[in-house]
A and B are shown apart, each in its own frame.
Chain A
Amino acid sequence: MNLNFLDFEQPIAELEAKIEELRYVGSDNEINIAEEITRLQGKSRELTESIFSNLKAAQISQLSRHPQRPYFLDYIERIFTDFEELHGDRAFKDDYAIVGGIARIENMPVMIIGQQKGRDTTEKVKRNFGMPRPEGYRKALRLMKMAEQFKLPVLTFIDTPGAYPGIGAEERNQSEAIARNLLEMSELKTPIISTVIGEGGSGGALAIGVADRTLMLQYSTYSVISPEGCATILWKSADKASEAAEAMGLTAQRLKELDLVDGIVEEPLGGAHRDHDRVAQSLKQTLVEQLAYLKTIPLDKLLEDRYQHLMAIGNFEEKSA
């Protein structure tokens, strides 16, 4: 398997290449080198552990956009059964950058909505690289209102560089589509769990992210602007993206410390792309637990908690009068 190693993983890549080479030698040689391979595999694991125990924000940002990282559709087939996709905003178009539908998780019917990036070029173009247009957000809202109507919990999955900056998107009022979702989600009468599975880019992410529980995968990111965008504006140079990533603190761990997310779902050693099944299992388990808990909370309290939680976000000083 070509793991598509990132630059900071090069030492691991070299070691893995050596292991591959040995395997090749081993197959047409009588010498038993299994022992050597095992030794090197151990070493590779240690190396991976050591590199991944000390990742910088910019490196996590790279991992969150890894081309082999599991996307929403990969999670759907691993976590849910009976998935029926529901299409369209009933007004303009079906936006393929957002996928939504009804499915079961451990037999419980739920509404699932998430951004979908494409794997190959054709798919990437079809999915608009996971950048939704207003009709995508309006489809999401339609499905959320349906979920409210039929008392289905809503699970959203965030993975987007941001809402699409395009001419048509502005003509159809991208701002309003995002704003509307924020308001409606804040008072949607059903439990909502939102999980950042990859890139949580700005308002385009938040537009499906107002929730009772916000989870992040270990190597996902969530930020007000991309590190590149932030660097261009504040540092006047896109080259400073890694400094911007660090300053914004867009990693799961940092955001958990700041109390902006409720939980972190651990990824396999080396990142989610190394083992799609395993990360999906961990996420499923967390979702099932959280759903079970949220279902015990009376709806009135759930909504009041959601509201008060939103109202409490912010840092400021207040002189007492």
Chain B
Amino acid sequence: MNWFSKLLPTGIRADGNKRTNVPEGLWAKCTECRAVLYRAELERNLDVCPKCDNHIRIGARRRLDTFLDAEPRVEIGEDITPVDALKFKDLKKYRDRLTQAQKATGETDALVVIMGQVKKVPVVAAAFEFKFMGGSMGSVVGERFVRAVNTAIQHRIPLVCFSASGGARMQEALFSLMQMAKTSAALGRLRKQGIPFISVLTDPTMGGVSASFAMLGDIHIAEPNALIGFAGPKVIEQTVRETLPEGFQRSEFLLEHGAIDMIVNRRDMRDTIARLLAMLTHQPAA
């Protein structure tokens, strides 16, 4: 420690890694404003930073848990699990990446589907687990999404999907690209049945997920400041060799350009969607 650092009060010293007296898990840090937050309070706030309103990314289970009524809940497509049909290997084997992601997230793949209710309105709800290989779409994600659509058709209840994905899963090569066509085609059947699909775009929704079912909702809702687009900002910057405009590919930008219907704060999501679905399915107001 040099003389200057010694002058500083301990609270603002930059040697943060030495502070080991804080119990793990009790405190959390906002990924945006860096405010240190009491974790229980943050959770009560649905992982929206009370200081700066940043919508911190949340996992699939937590998403569905906070969205759906406690009862009833039936999971769809949980028995479908990924295989490495191509024996794909980059710096790591795809099989090892899958095992690692499964251990880290407790999920078998990047999409979780649950049939339940939102404020008594029956619904099939799907949510992406971004921590599972960047929420990438491979065969399992595609198949579970199709099962979600088919369940919605079978029970004649609306479909809601919370997207959070980097796009197609490269390790499944062309099979993953084709999931875009598969999932979009399934939505064609839903449309024919007159069943609503609400697509919720959360941070981030990019590439093959954005360019398929996520942009085929009857209603598009985004969380504030979510990155949503087809090509990644870095790729665009390298291609056009210009600085990207402020707020480019963020929810507010998409709203301004007419790509989405509304931006909804996570704390209002459940109420808003329940209200919309009740009207779209001709049910009385709550």
Contact = CB atoms under 8 A, between A and B. Distances in A.
B196 interface: no
Interface string A191-226: 000000000001100110110000000000011110
Given A163-B231, A174-B211, A313-B175, A249 B86 contact: yes
Given A174-B230, A315-B83, A249 B170 contact: no
Given A166-B240, A170-B249, A255 B182 contact: no
B159 interface: no
A175 interface: yes
Nearest to B245: A167
Contacts of B171: 234
B86 A317 contact: no
A38 interface: no
A186 B189 CA distance: 10
Interface stretch (B5-13, B61-69, B138-146): B138-146
Contact of B91 (A206, A209, A236, A311): A236
Interface size class of A (residues with CB under 8 A): 35 or more
A250 interface: yes
Interface in A154-179: 163-167, 169-176, 178-179
Most chain-A Cβ atoms within 10 A of its Cβ — which of B189, B207, B211, B232? B211
A206 B258 CA distance: 24
A243 B91 CA distance: 11
Interface string B194-222: 00000000000001101111111000000
Nearest to A174: B230
A319 B236 CA distance: 42
Most chain-B Cβ atoms within 10 A of its Cβ — which of A164, A311, A320? A311
B173 interface: yes
A243 B170 CA distance: 13
Nearest to A183: B184
Interface stretch (B52-60, B74-82, B119-127, B274-282): B74-82
Contacts of A316: 80-83, 139-140, 143
Nearest to A205: B177
Contacts of B79: 318-321
B36 to A, nearest CB: 33
A257 B182 CA distance: 20
A175 B177 contact: no
A321 to B, nearest CB: 6
Given A203-B207, A248-B170, A315-B85, A179 B213 contact: yes
A260 interface: yes
A173 B177 contact: no
Contacts of B188: 183-184, 186-187
Interface residues of B, number: 65
B188 to A, nearest CB: 5
B184 A173 contact: no
B229 interface: yes
Contacts of A315: 83, 85, 139, 172, 175
Contact of B185 (A169, A172, A183, A243): A183
Given A165-B236, A175-B230, A310 B259 contact: no
A255 B173 CA distance: 10
Contacts of B42: none
B215 A223 contact: no
B248 A182 contact: no
B216 A260 contact: no
B160 interface: no
B88 A247 contact: yes
A282 to B, nearest CB: 23
Given A182-B212, A314-B175, A230 B170 contact: yes
B202 to A, nearest CB: 15
A147 interface: no
B174 interface: yes
A167 B174 contact: no
A314 B170 contact: no
B18 interface: no
Interface string A237-255: 0000001100111100001
A115 to B, nearest CB: 16
A224 B173 contact: yes
Contacts of A165: 230-232, 235-236, 239-240
A203 B88 contact: no
Given A166-B231, A234-B171, 7 more contacts: A165-B231, A169-B230, A178-B180, A222-B174, A224-B208, A235-B90, A313-B179
Interface of B: 79-83, 85-86, 88-91, 138-140, 142-143, 146, 168, 170-182, 184-189, 191, 207-208, 210-216, 228-232, 235-236, 239-240, 242, 244-245, 248-249, 254, 257-259
Interface of A: 163-167, 169-176, 178-180, 182-187, 202-203, 206-207, 209-210, 222-225, 230, 233-236, 243-244, 247-250, 255, 258, 260, 307, 310-311, 313-321
27 contacts: A166-B239, A167-B244, A170-B231, A171-B257, A173-B257, A176-B211, A182-B212, A183-B185, A184-B188, A202-B168, A203-B211, A210-B181, A225-B168, A230-B90, A243-B90, A248-B88, A248-B174, A249-B174, A258-B174, A310-B182, A311-B185, A313-B142, A313-B178, A314-B139, A316-B82, A317-B80, A317-B81
The 5 closest A-B CB pairs, nearest first, are A314-B139, A165-B231, A186-B185, A234-B90, A315-B85
